[in-house]
Amino acid sequence: MNHLLKKTQFLKAIIFPVCIILFFTNPAHAGSTGQNLLVELEEALVSLADKVRPSVVSMSAYVPPSPSIRRQGDKSGVPASAGSGVIIDGVKGIIVTNGHVVRGSGKIKVTLLGGEEKVGTVLGIDEDTDIAVVQIETEKTLSSSILGDSSGLKIGQFAVAVGNPYGLNDTLTFGIISGLNRENVNLSRYEDFIQTDASINPGNSGGPLLNIRGDIIGINTAIINYAQSIGFAIPSNIVRKVVGELLEFGEVRRGWLGVGIESVTAKIAQEVKGRAGEGVWVNSVFEGDPAHRAGIRIGDVILRIGGTAVDTPSRVIRLIGAFSPGQSVNLDILRDGKRKVVTVKLERQKKRPDKVFKKSLQGIDEPSLGMEVESLGGDKGVVVSRVYPGSTAEKQGLRVGDYIEAINGRAVSKIIEFKEVLSSVLEGGEIHVLILRGKSKLHIKITQKD
């Protein structure tokens, strides 16, 4: 096998391009040498396919044999999206797939290469990365693939995708890595995608993206509709961390900083004496959270996290989330035109606010807040419908018709989200409101009265 790996690496780097050139520019001189090289490449790909295909499974909705035996509260019969998965532990029957493939299902039907069907149990889902872990019972060791190292990937390297597009089981496609570190694709919270031109279609979701050695370098997750040869995969190093924590804790435990951030525009750069596109601007700091305790202030620009430069909110979220709760990390910041380093001890991200806003949820529209809001319907957002005379809201310049984008750095698109964010603020605490007025974004600070 080592001989085969060395041969495929050599073919990838040199021989395949040269061979193509020979065939299309001077076929008379190519002779048997060029043909032999292509044959060797073909054999290498066939060997790769034979090696990895048995570890790739098809996943679809599980329907119990009889509805009458379904236990109360069992979600096994809830339809899941058809997709793929890959076995990473053949002894324990551990399978990695996408979260959206198994979402809403406690059980999932797993079909192995050859047609054998098994019932899989969903052990955990991480919505923030769209990764899920499923386990099937097995009496024999199943074929499995190895999670490789995605940190050294380079654009132009070969990539192979395996899955079940459109129900066509056991489909293999071949291409290259087209891009790295893709973010702002709006597929998940933590985005750092591999882009590939290896054909990925509906049904490929959850299947592996592999290098020429047959190691998993990513989990295929999505395509851009109506675009050709643009697919995305979650890097294997992210997958490894998520899977490990799902198996150990049943959830992923990420570091939490406690700030609201946005990109540094030219206008912000002028105000903070920095450079546009360099770092991220802190627009709010959550009271009592790690950043607040470490002395981070509104108006600071975070330049580096643990020595790694940041330039987008997505990168900050991803880097902070890569640390475990309790870890300390150095932040290089820009404040009043001067650089300094602040050490922050991260906490575990809270799913429920532990601070209690003493008013009832219905009380958010009372004069003590200084304003009333109403929904535009669905997820279209929240607008200010009334500002009370003499209130802090009025004094700070809040107006009827202002569109509320975020409170204390947390996005708001529904009334319930507006209430949930405010419920985490103690009476007397500061509320930092990011509003859109016309084409301008404004930050307004309101102090909740006791």
Tell me the three state secondary structure of residue 302. strand
Scanning 228-346, the segments in alpha helix (DSSP H) are 236-249, 266-272, 290-294, 313-322
Tell me the three state secondary structure of residue 41. helix
Are 205 and 100 in contact by the 8 Å Cβ rule? The answer is yes
Are 330 and 307 in contact by the 8 Å Cβ rule? The answer is yes
Q: Is 100 a catalytic residue?
A: yes
Are 357 and 369 in contact by the 8 Å Cβ rule? The answer is no
Whole-number Å distance between alpha carbons of 93 and 392: 59
Which residue in 76, 205, 284, 424 is the catalytic one?
Answer: 205
Burial class of residue 33, CB neighbours in 10 A (0-12, 13-18, 19+) = exposed
H or E element in which residue 418 lies? helix 415-422
Which residue in 126, 128, 130, 332 is the catalytic one?
Answer: 130
Are 282 and 259 in contact by the 8 Å Cβ rule? The answer is yes
H or E element in which residue 105 lies? none
Q: Is 205 a catalytic residue?
A: yes
Which of 205, 192, 122 minimizes the C-alpha distance to 161?
205
Which residue in 100, 236, 314, 424 is the catalytic one?
Answer: 100
Positive or negative CA dihedral for 378, 379, 380, 382? positive
Structure tokens at 394: 């009025």
* β-pairing verdict for 430-437 and 328-335: unpaired
User: Could you list the active site residues?
Assistant: 100, 130, 205
